Amino acid sequence: MITEIVGITAIVVAAMLGSPAQASIEQQRQLFHDASYALETNQISKFNRLLKQLDDYPAQAYLEYDAFRRNISRLKPQQVELFLQRYADYPFAYHARGSWLDILARRGDWEGYLKYFDDRANTRLQCISFQARLKLGQLDGLNEEISRIWLRGYSQPPQCDAAFSYYLDSQGDPEQVIWARIEKAFKARRPALALYLGKKLDAQSRATVESWYRAHKRPEQSLKQLTESEDNERTRDIIVHAIDRLARKNSLRALEAWNQISDQFAFTPEHKAQVQLRIALSAALQHESEARDLLSGLDAEAMNDQAYLWLARIQLRGRDWSGLLNTINRMPAHLYEENEWQYWLSRSMEAEGQLSGSLTLLEQLSGKSSYYGFLAADKLKREYLIEQENAASTGVDEDAFLAENPHMLRARELFFLDRLVDAKREWFQALRYLDQDQIKQAATLASRWQWHDSAIRTVAKTKHRSDYSLRFPMPYKQQVLENAQARELDPSLIYGVMRRESLFDPLARSSVGALGLMQLMPSTARRVASSLGMKRPRKSDILSVENNIRFGTQYLRNVMNRFDNNVALAAAAYNAGPGNVKKWLPREQTMSADLWVETVPFKETRNYVQAVLAYSTVFDRSLGKDTLMSSRMNDIKPRY
């Protein structure tokens, strides 16, 4: 233990000294790995020796940070101060400071805590700062700061309890602020929090909260009981909440209940608009035939973006071109001007015989290299506008560029050291200091290093959209082509899925647990592996590029088989599952693919299918194919 403390002190001091001659970059990277391993295995003397050999290496500080984290609980304040000052410009400084704040809180060093607290937007650490101020009697403005956290409709960390107690004790009317949070809790669908807060109120108020809780949990039964309640503000709020909850489960029962109760209470116009909007939107989501009339019957003041979009899609699904034309023309400008609704405005105008206006809109869209641009070009029988232009107008001098951008230099090294989280933090911190031309050059460098996801995200920060080699690279080409041939799949489609799923990041992990290039859920990958006669894969196996492409393409083949090789349906199934796609099929008539895609109820899936179709079209050009996007958009049948 003593050796380790001496070691970290030596690290901080050694960083201030001169450095030996720089080794080659490859040698330095290997030394970094060796030093990291020495630290992990507690070989502190070896670690310090290797660290000194890396004094000129751009990523050396990350080894010092590793040592700092390892020993932080044993450090003295002056050692921490020196470290934080020296590396203030590094992304890890934020996390190092956070770790030190936790140490100070555990020590009860409240003066030290407030000295190092940087007003970060971290609720737990903010609440500890409130504790510190309470301990030290620094109360000016404290209640106002606490109130911003108190007035959230969801539970807060236990570190906030002391501050909340002080806040309530200092209120002239604590019941008012308790009710304010209870209302927010129910609105945020946190009924347990509301019930907990209700215990702080008197018996009559507790009974009201319990009534509201029952309305949240069992809205239909509660509405029958509420008809006998006194007409007051709380009762009306509870009824509106119950109708909202019921509508999310069964919109037509909610409509029936509302019609029975609405005249018995003095609901405000805002209440009425809120209820009518919720019932109409829920009816649309539940594919009720009444949804069109409910949405059409909303007052203009009650309409929001979702109401316009659902009404338009219902009219699309019903091929109500006249109604659609009227709805699009009533949309707020930010919706009306989107390519999506310009395309469907053109289609509705065509159906209504307004051919000149329809043609004008299609001509404007056909020059865009996008889903709607390709649809428009196909209708006009025009070639797609997919012309390669280099984002960086001149070749990028890597050494000169990185010499002026230390964050970028460190990002490159961290990328090649497989410290991808640290690499991305450095990279995107660097972008804050670059102008548009420099950002384009940075994207070019990331692509040169095969760091494709960062290249794509970086060029997206510019207005440049025509460098298809940056935005639509084709890594892992041999594996993709081999699996495409083995499974009779279009390689452009595989690339389209891969690009949408992970931006070609082989180590991508989603918030729900999907893994790798083709974002496979472990359960899906295991089923596919079993069907291929392979042993049960671990997560590390699923992240393997070779396995991920093999499993992903096999699953894509499976959903293609399930839906008769219909690409739009297969893409939707890859994203949302075959069960959902089956529910979304037209009930009676065959439907054109563009119409079906537009009326998919899940926005994520709708956008996903459109992206995969458009991306596949771009990859066609890179593969030397001249394929129409519409050729992948077969009509959608009621049954498969």
Active site residues: 501
Contacts 24+ apart (CB under 8 A), 582-587: 582/640, 585/636, 585/637, 585/638, 585/639, 585/640, 586/317, 586/636, 586/637, 586/638, 587/638
List Cα–Cα distances, 494 to 35, 504, 549, 609, in angstroms.
40, 12, 9, 13
| Beta-carbon count within 10 A of 626 CB | 8
Residue 130 burial class via C-beta count within 10 angstroms: exposed 0-12, middle 13-18, buried 19 and up: buried
What is the 3 state secondary structure string of 137-158? CCCCCHHHHHHHHHCCCCCCCH
Q: Which residue has the tokens 């659609």?
A: 324
Residue 190 burial class via C-beta count within 10 angstroms: exposed 0-12, middle 13-18, buried 19 and up: buried
Cα–Cα dist 304/310, whole Å? 10
| Beta-carbon count within 10 A of 328 CB | 22
Pull the structure tokens for residue 550. 């093999």
List Cα–Cα distances, 556 to 34, 436, 571, in angstroms.
41, 38, 8
Q: Tell me, what amino acid is at 18? A: G
Cα–Cα dist 14/162, whole Å? 43
Cα–Cα dist 127/105, whole Å? 11
List Cα–Cα distances, 379 to 343, 362, 615, in angstroms.
11, 8, 19
Cα–Cα dist 147/161, whole Å? 13
List Cα–Cα distances, 38 to 9, 45, 57, 82, 224, in angstroms.
17, 9, 18, 24, 70
In contact, 146 and 167? CB cutoff 8 Å: yes
What are the phi and psi torsion angles at 636 (to 5°)? -100, 120
Q: Residue 550, SS3?
A: helix
